[in-house]
Structure 1
C-alpha cells in the first residue's frame, strides 16, 4: 500500500505482518476526542488547537472537518503542512506560530505566508525591536504579544509594564492579541488549580484593558488548564481561545488533568524480543520509538496494567511484573506513551486505524524541522 494512501482507501493491512516498533493512530478515537474537547470548550470558534501533537495530515483533516479554523503550531514545517492541507481543501485558516521567530526562521515563515495567500498567519513577539522587524518585512504577518504568566520559558513578565507597552506600540496595527501559556499549572495539584486560575486570568484581562486592545484575541491554556480557562468568568464576553493539542491523542500525562471521556488514540506497537529472567521481558520499542524525556514509566501496556515499563535504552524497553502471567516471546504489545507529542515526532510513518482495522500507512509529515525551504 502506498505510504500516501488516504484513510479507508485500499485493502486493510494485516497488523500481525507489520514490523515493529510502529506508531498506530486510531481515527475513530481521534474523532471522539475532538468531540469531547469541543463539548468542554464550547465550540470550534473557541479552540485554537496546537498541532505540534497531531503532525499527521489525516488527523489535521479531521480537525478541519470538525469545523476548526484557528490553529497554533511551533515550527515552520508544521505551518507548511497544515497550510498546504487547508489550501488544497479550499479552507481559510488562522494560524499562530507560537515562537518569536528570528533570522532565517522568520524569513522562512514569511515565505510560507507568501506561498499561501488568503490565509492568516501570525507569530509571537516579546520585544520592540523584534516587533518592528516583523512589521518591516511587509509580509502581512500578524503579532501576538507573548506574556509570561509564571512559567518562565518565554514572554514578558506580567509586571514588566514598560516592556509590554513598548512592544505593543512597536507592533502597531500588526498586533492581533495576547498570548499567555500557563503551562506551570501542570505541576500544581488539581485541587489548587482553580485558585491559580482565579489569581491569573483576571490579571490577563486587566492587561488587555490597560493596553486598550478592544476585540483583540486572548490565547491561553494547554491541556493542563484549558477546561478551567474555557469556562472562567474572567473571559466572559472576550475573544478568548484555548489551545490544547495533546487532547487529540491523549496520553498518560493527560490523565493527570482530571478530565474524563477521552481515549488513547495513539499507541506504539512493539514485540517481546527477550525474556531475560522470571518476571522480566524486553520489547523492541526503546527511546527512539517512545519518548523517554518525560520520565519513568515512559509507557503503559494496553490490557496489562501490572506490567511496568522500566528505563529504556535506544532500541529496548525492559519491563517487569510482580507475579501473574507474562507475555510470550514474539507477542505484540501496544504501548500508551507517557508523552505522546514527541513520541509521534519520533516516527517516520503512522498506521491509521478505522473500524478496528488498519486502513492506511501515511507519513508523519510535520515531524522534525526544516533546514531549507
Structure 2
C-alpha cells in the first residue's frame, strides 16, 4: 500500500505550501490554494472528456468561490447533499442542480421553496420508495411545479437506494404515472468500490452496473426515453469516464486528500487544501502538542489516518482530544513551540465542514478568505 508521500498525487510537495505571512494567520486554519483547485478541475474535465460529462458533488468545498471556478470551466450540472448546498449553487447561477438525497418530512417543502425561489435553476432529487415519491409528487402538483427525479439505485453499498430489478422498474414506472414529477434517469453511487487495484475496481464496477444497464434498455424498449445515468463518485471516476452516456459525479477531486491519494495513486489530482496548526506545548523531547483537535480535522478514522504533516512527515499523531493533538517525533526533530505544521487531512470533506472560512493562499501569501457558505443546514430556505 502506498503512503501519502509515495503517491504520485503528492510528489513535488516541497515548499509549495509555505506561507510568507504565516504570522498573521491564527490556527488551526483551513487553507485553500486556488491555482491547485483550478488545476484539479481542469484535470477532471480532461479525464471526463468534456465539462458536460461532469456533475461534481459540492459536499467537499461547500463554497461559492469553488462553484464559480467550476462554472468558469464550463461545468453546468451539479450534485448536492443538502438543501443549503443546493441553494448555494443556485445562488451562483448554476442551471442544473441535483439534490442527491430523497427528501422526506420538512425537506419536501423546503425543496419546493427552493424551486420557486430560483426559477432559473432546474432542480431534481432522488427517490427510492413509492411513499416519499408520491409525497414529493403531491407537493409539486399542489404548487403546479414539475420536478424531474432520479430513481436511486443500490449497487451493493447498502446505504440508500433500491436494488436493481423488478421493484426498481416498478418504482420508475410509478413515478412516470405521477403528476408533478417525471423520472428521467437513475442515480447510482458505488462508494463501496474502493479496491486499490484499478483492474479489480473496474471489474467490480462493471458487474455492479450491468443490471442497471439492463433496466435502462428495458425501459427504452417500453417506449420511455432512455434513462439518464449519474454514476459513481471519486473512486470509480476513471471507470465511468470510459462510458460516454454516463454523467460522472466526483467531489473530492477539487481539494483532494491523503486518503484518496494513498488509495488511488493512478488519480492525477493534487492536494489543494491543507490545515495549518501550531505547536502550543512540549510534552517531552519527542512529543509536542498542536492546536489541531477533533474540532479541527475529521476524526472518524484511527489516529494513523487523520492527518499527514507535509513539513514533518515523521510526525505521528498519538493522542487526540477536542482542542489538542499530541504528535510523536524522532529525537533531534528541531521543531519548537510556535512553529507551524501544514497538514494534509486524510478525509477532506468532513474536515471542511469544521471551518466557517478558509484562508486563500496565492503566490505564497494569505490574500483573502472564502466562506464555507453551505456549512450550515440552511442559508435562506
Please indicate, yes or no, whether the TM-score normalized by the shorter chain is above 0.5.
yes
Tell whether 2:324 aligns with 1:320.
Answer: no
Cα separation, 2, equivalents of 1:208 and 1:31: 35
Could you tell me which residue of structure 1 aligns to residue 364 of structure 2? 356
Could you tell me which residue of structure 2 aligns to residue 203 of structure 1? 211
Q: Deviations over 1:174-196 (max 9, x none)?
A: 11210011111125654421221
Tell whether 2:311 aligns with 1:306.
Answer: no
Give the alignment partner of residue 168 of structure 2, picking from 155, 164, 168.
164
**CA contact 1:13–1:359 (8 Å) conserved in 2:** no
Cα separation, 1, equivalents of 2:171 and 2:77: 24
Cα separation, 2, equivalents of 1:224 and 1:209: 26
Could you tell me which residue of structure 1 aligns to residue 292 of structure 2? 285
Name the stretch that deviates more: 316-325 or 121-130.
Answer: 316-325
Tell whether 2:227 aligns with 1:216.
Answer: yes
Give the alignment partner of residue 122 of structure 2, picking from 94, 117, 120.
120
- CA shift, 1:228, in A, is 1.3
Give the alignment partner of residue 339 of structure 2, picking from 327, 331, 337.
331
- CA shift, 1:96, in A, is 0.7
Cα separation, 1, equivalents of 2:247 and 2:378: 28
Q: Deviations over 1:1-37 (max 9, x none)?
A: xxxxxxxxxxx99331111111111001100111111
Where structure 2 has 5 or more consecutive residues not aligned to the other structure, the ranges are 1-18
**CA contact 1:309–1:318 (8 Å) conserved in 2:** yes
Give the alignment partner of residue 108 of structure 1, picking from 102, 107, 110.
110
**CA contact 1:143–1:175 (8 Å) conserved in 2:** yes
Give the aligned length. Answer: 350
Cα separation, 1, equivalents of 2:310 and 2:147: 44
- CA shift, 1:324, in A, is 4.5
**Measured at CA, do residues 194 and 116 of structure 1 come closer, stay the same or move farther in structure 2, by a change above 3 Å?**
same
Aligned 1:103-252 pairs, distance under 5 A: 103-138=105-140, 139-159=145-165, 161=166, 163-172=167-176, 174-186=182-194, 189-212=197-220, 213-231=224-242, 235-236=243-244, 238=245, 240-252=246-258
- CA shift, 1:244, in A, is 0.5
**CA contact 2:318–2:327 (8 Å) conserved in 1:** yes
Tell whether 2:81 aligns with 1:74.
Answer: yes
Q: Which runs of 4+ in 1 moved over 3 A?
A: 187-191
- CA shift, 1:364, in A, is 1.0
**CA contact 1:279–1:323 (8 Å) conserved in 2:** yes
- Alignment root-mean-square deviation, CA: 1.9
Query: Aligned with 1:334: secondary structure?
Result: strand
Cα separation, 1, equivalents of 2:20 and 2:107: 39
- CA shift, 1:99, in A, is 0.6
Aligned 1:57-68 pairs, distance under 5 A: 57-68=64-75
Query: Aligned with 1:80: secondary structure?
Result: helix
Give the alignment partner of residue 369 of structure 1, picking from 348, 352, 377.
377
Could you tell me which residue of structure 2 aligns to residue 28 of structure 1? 35
- CA shift, 1:210, in A, is 1.5
TM-score by length of 2: 0.87
Cα separation, 2, equivalents of 1:43 and 1:136: 37
Cα separation, 1, equivalents of 2:311 and 2:175: 53
Where structure 1 has 5 or more consecutive residues not aligned to the other structure, the ranges are 1-11, 87-91
**CA contact 2:87–2:379 (8 Å) conserved in 1:** no
**CA contact 1:129–1:170 (8 Å) conserved in 2:** no
**Measured at CA, do residues 60 and 311 of structure 1 come closer, stay the same or move farther in structure 2, by a change above 3 Å?**
farther
Query: Aligned with 2:103: secondary structure?
Result: coil
Query: Aligned with 2:115: secondary structure?
Result: helix
